[in-house]
A and B are shown apart, each in its own frame.
Chain A
């Protein structure tokens, strides 16, 4: 009997572990739990206002608008209670708004940066200012959201933008050797028109594959091994599931924007060279006068640090800061150390400029 128990124990352990692993991988966590209300909508885009928890007289008078990337869900900013940038900022007394672009459908294949920056953003910002009863606002753009906020800030510098925060902003595409995506989307190897003719919008699954393939071993092997090694640690499982829920919730990228991203930016670096034209207007980065904080992730493989630095010398902002954080593209804002390093720094910088 003891011998049988000794033989069966490892097998039972393995089965239990496999069951727990399978459950952890397939469970979708409840995310984005910070209370919010819908205040504006246009097509798929939505603006949410987070319900303030700080009395009005103690709140910062300048509202903050969060603008996330187009091809991922924005709830990475509000992943789970206790680990949410949104929750943190609301507690710090910000009147906080989120611009959620939604998932483009077949009817949105022609949407371009032009539409997002000059049709959607001005309307969303007008509504924000109307609700908040203010003329000035702050804006935080992350990844492609940083491209959008940068273009908007350059095209509409007199629209009341006081503070601009760019997180892992892919703006400079001059160093083709350092940017793996630039190599993959080189016109010799990648036919953007053929892809869009087949799919209309760039499928979320393809974008997800591209992002994961930059670090294939980490994303396809190590990530799951970390979970396997920590199946007895509920905190690790909870964090892993929340991140996995976000990572696997892919949305397509509108065809028009994808073409601009590849042709105008990755291939021709038009934004940094001052050659990008949005609805007939040239995007001149020197027109940006808002206070600027650029946050760089030192270990970013999606937006290498070299892509975010050059903007500092292009803008006219007298008040600008480049803040470098150890970590990856997502980790600097949603990783375990974000609430000790990145969030407090953003809060400190913004609070001093939101009076």
Chain B
């Protein structure tokens, strides 16, 4: 006979969760909210409003950003330190060197491949006359 506790248990053996009903309501609400928001963000009005916010931020921050950049450049010059532009130029040169090295690697690969093919062809060429001699000898023996 089942006890009261057993009767209260859910089919999976766990005690019933009082929050389950709340979660179901919550999820239903969230589903509806999610669908509404997906539709909202895919509108011209939303695109216009976010565009305006971004544009305003960029316009407002531009003078501040430029003045900080200029000040920083002056400080770096006075301290005889390289600027961002110097590092960018250096990085460009390093990348160019990397590309040259990669080109050299490709050339070496081609040379190695050509030499391997040449060696292989040479081995085959050397093998061919010896094979001919062996065949001829067999023929001569056969005649005898």
Contact = CB atoms under 8 A, between A and B. Distances in A.
B48 interface: yes
A191 interface: yes
Interface in B63-115: 65, 84, 87-88, 91-92, 95, 98-99, 102, 105-106, 109
Interface string A213-243: 1111110011001000100000000000000
Nearest to A301: B38
Which secondary structure dominates where chain A touches chain B? helix
A123 B95 CA distance: 13
Contacts of A323: none
A107 interface: yes
A10 B48 CA distance: 46
B69 to A, nearest CB: 11
Interface string A190-203: 11001100100000
B50 interface: yes
Contacts of A105: 91
A184 B30 contact: no
Contacts of B84: 106
B119 interface: no
B29 to A, nearest CB: 10
Nearest to B33: A217
A183 interface: yes
Given A43-B95, A107-B92, A189-B47, A225 B58 contact: no
Interface string B22-46: 0100100010011001100111101
Nearest to B88: A107
Contact of B98 (A42, A198, A222): A42
Nearest to A178: B42
Contacts of A225: 26, 30
Contact of A229 (B23, B65, B105): B23
A217 B23 CA distance: 16
Interface residues of A, number: 34
Contacts of B44: 183, 186, 189
Q: Looking at B23, B51, B84, B98, which has the most chain A CB atoms within 10 Å of its CB?
A: B51
A214 B38 contact: yes
Interface string A245-265: 000000000000000000000
Secondary structure at the B interface, as helix, strand, loop or mixed, is helix
Contact of A184 (B50, B62, B98): B50
Contacts of B62: 198
Given A42-B98, A107-B87, A229-B23, A183 B58 contact: no
Given A106-B88, A130-B109, A190-B54, A217 B30 contact: yes
Interface residues of B, number: 35
Report which residue of B41, B43, B87 has the largest number of chain A beta carbons within 10 angstroms of its beta carbon: B41
B6 interface: no
A23 interface: no
A186 B92 contact: no
Nearest to B101: A42
B64 to A, nearest CB: 11
A340 interface: no
A262 to B, nearest CB: 13
Nearest to B106: A126
Most chain B CB within 10 A, of A123, A191, A217, A229, is at A217
A189 B37 CA distance: 20
Nearest to B102: A123
A24 interface: no
Contacts of B99: 42, 119, 123
Given A191-B55, A301-B38, 19 more contacts: A42-B98, A42-B99, A106-B84, A123-B99, A126-B106, A183-B42, A183-B43, A184-B46, A189-B50, A190-B47, A190-B54, A191-B51, A191-B58, A198-B65, A215-B38, A217-B33, A218-B34, A222-B34, A229-B23
Pairs of residues from A and B, 3 with the lowest C-beta to C-beta distance, nearest first: A189-B51, A107-B91, A217-B34
8 contacts: A106-B84, A123-B106, A127-B105, A130-B109, A184-B50, A186-B44, A194-B58, A195-B54
